[in-house]
Structure 1
Amino acid sequence: MKRIDVAAAIVADEEGRVLIARRREGKAQAGRWEFPGGKIEPGETPEACIVRELKEEMDIDVRPGERFGEYEHDYGDVRIRLIAHLAAYEGGAIRLADHDRHEWARPADLLRYPLAPADVGFAKRLAGAADGQEE
């Protein structure tokens, strides 16, 4: 089975809402919401991947911060290892390339979105923290 390492950014705004984006038609996991990011290239760190991917996919600048966590998910034909970092929004107007929508969601509302399976663990952790409960 093919294994892919992917980096995701958990970007929060001043109000504590988190940036999520919906995969557009024609993409793997189309119609599902995710924390933005992408495949880590050979020799690339997760932090560098986040900076590159958010620039390519959303045309925004972010500054990666501390590591938030890591989850693995088996999609049948591929196993994804998703590494998430908290990230600060540095600027730029969001223009979508691989997504058809984006939203700034309250952490407590994240589980109301049809999320990509690999992102669910992070959403649960963020929603639990918002409710005062850590998983």
Structure 2
Amino acid sequence: MDVVDQWTGRHATALQFALRMSHDELAARLGIAKRTVAAWHEKADTVLRNELQQALDTLFEQAPQAAKIRFARRLQEADASAIEAAKDSAVRLTAAISVVLKGDNVLLVCRRDSEPSGITWQFPAGVVKPGARPEMIAVRETLAETGVHCKVREELGDRIHPLSKVRCKYFLCDYLAGGAENRDTEENASVLWSPTTDVTNFIPPENIFPPILQYLKGSS
């Protein structure tokens, strides 16, 4: 790594590590307070002011090659840790998914914009906050998104979704009342009842939780 386009707290602390400097030593070298260096460790995304950008450019350019190698490795390790943290965060997030049946039809919603994961059509879903009961979230979010009242018949299982990487808990639900309508126009473009035989026209079969797919095939 020969150039740093923009120094942040993460880059500055990586250089500090590479040069084996204490907070006091780096602060003295840059002409800043020790607490400023300490703050970079706590706020890694902080973009440093222009005069510090230039000072760190000079410090990096003057660093021996071995220090530059340590600097690059440190950044790679930090990036890898950030990616793992993001994965762990996604895994900890749980969504309750409701598969609502009305005769030979199943309720589907269409996201207004295709999500980064590639999901567009899906079953109604809601995020389960700590302490909440997933089955209640499934029922409540179905009503909030579609205007359909339902009740949980059984839990079909759970998995880490192959696209979103979110932990999903799936519930088979029976229709009670209400006409399907798009009540969340900011998030959804459409709501409809699809014949169970046509679900794979909306959602690729490889993205459907296998127990759901098996159930829908058996009910058709």
The residue aligned with 2:178 is 92
* Correspondence 1:104 to 2:104: no
For 2:143, give the aligned amino acid.
Answer: K
TM-score between both structures, scaled by the size of structure 2: 0.50
Identity %: 21
The residue aligned with 2:97 is 8
| Off by >4 Å, runs of 4+ in structure 1 | 26-31, 115-118
Comparing both structures, which one devotes a greater share of its residues to helix?
Answer: 2
TM-fit CA distance, 1:115: 4.8
CA contact (8 A) 2:159 2:168 kept: yes
- 3-state SS of paired residue (2:215): helix
Q: Deviations over 1:45-95 (max 9, x none)?
A: 1111012211221222211121122221244xx621111111122222333
- What are the equivalent positions in structure 2 for 1:1-135 lying under 5 Å apart? 1=87, 2=89, 3=91, 4-14=93-103, 16-25=104-113, 32-75=120-163, 79-96=165-182, 97=184, 98-115=187-204, 119-121=208-210, 123-130=212-219
CA contact (8 A) 1:24 1:100 kept: yes
TM-fit CA distance, 1:31: 6.6
For 2:197, give the aligned amino acid.
Answer: A
In the alignment, the residues of structure 1 paired with residue 139 and residue 128 of structure 2 have an alpha-carbon distance, to the nearest angstrom, of 11
Q: Deviations over 1:101-135 (max 9, x none)?
A: 1222222221121459754535532344247xxxx
TM-fit CA distance, 1:25: 2.2
Number of aligned residue pairs: 128
Answer 1 or 2: higher relative contact order, Cα 8 Å, separation at least 6. Answer: 1
CA change 1:62–1:9 in 2 (3 A) is same
For 2:97, give the aligned amino acid.
Answer: A
TM-score between both structures, scaled by the size of structure 1: 0.76
In the alignment, the residues of structure 2 paired with residue 40 and residue 115 of structure 1 have an alpha-carbon distance, to the nearest angstrom, of 25
Query: Which stretches in structure 2 are left out of the alignment for 5+ residues?
Result: 1-86
CA contact (8 A) 2:157 2:170 kept: yes
| Greater gyration radius | 2
CA contact (8 A) 1:12 1:18 kept: yes
